Each structure stands twice: as structure tokens, then as C-alpha cells.
Amino acid sequence: MSSQSTNGSRLIDLDHYRDRPFTNEMGRMFGSTRFMAPEEFEPGAIIDEVTNVFTMGRVISVFLSDGTLEFTHFRCGSSLYEVMIRACQPERKERFPSMKAFHAA
């Protein structure tokens, strides 16, 4: 990490941090199931930034809704709701391809 200030925060699970994509070798990985992408339950699946996109979509669902993906409980506009829904797609190819694309949306 650079010493340059970004005026932001970073959250890292230091116990299980990896700085590049890796293969799920254990099946169900550690963590709260409400934030976990489907690939975090599949041995042999790739865990990468597309997995992180799913997790951050679920974070939105908890902080800006009631933890569900129902629009009726969402406390922001439809544009952010659509971002959340796309991020939380079970199929990796239907999510944002990167955290940069997720953030831009």
C-alpha cells in the first residue's frame, strides 16, 4: 500500500487476506453467509474481485435496506438499487467485472 493519502478507508481481513485471485480449496469459506458469494461455498471456484463485488453488494443490502434484495425495503433511489442487484447476482458473469466498475456505477 502506498503512503499517499486517499482520504478513504480500507477494510481488510488480515487473517485470510490474499493480494491476488486464488482457488477455493476448502469448500465453505470463513465468514457470515449473508455476505458470501456462491463461489465461496464451491471447492475449486475462483475467488477474486468479482467475489468482492458480490460481498460489497450484500454490504449495501445490509446498510441501506433490511438485508434483503427487495426494493420496498431499500432506503435509497432506484439507481443505487440497480447497482446492488447487479452486484449480488449469483452468476459471476452477470456482476460487475471489477471493483473499479462497481465503484464507478
Residue-level pLDDT, tens digit, the chain, 105 residues: 455 666 777 766 666 677 899 999 999 998 899 999 999 999 999 999 999 999 999 999 999 999 999 999 999 999 999 999 999 999 999 999 999 999 999
**Residues shown for the chain:** 105
Predicted pLDDT at 14: 65
Asked if the structure places residue 39 within a domain, the reply is no
- From the list 14, 83, 20, the residue with the least C-alpha distance to 46 is 20
Q: How far apart are CA 87 and CA 90, in angstroms?
A: 9
Domain count, the chain: 1
Cell digits of residue 37: 458469494
Asked if the structure places residue 94 within a domain, the reply is yes
Structural domain range at position 53: 48-105
Asked if the structure places residue 105 within a domain, the reply is yes
Asked if the structure places residue 56 within a domain, the reply is yes
Predicted pLDDT at 5: 60
List all residues 6 or more positions away from 67 whose beta carbon is below 8 Å from its beta carbon: 34, 61
- From the list 42, 52, 44, 43, the residue with the least C-alpha distance to 20 is 52
Asked if the structure places residue 90 within a domain, the reply is yes
Predicted pLDDT at 3: 55
Q: How far apart are CA 75 and CA 72, in angstroms?
A: 8
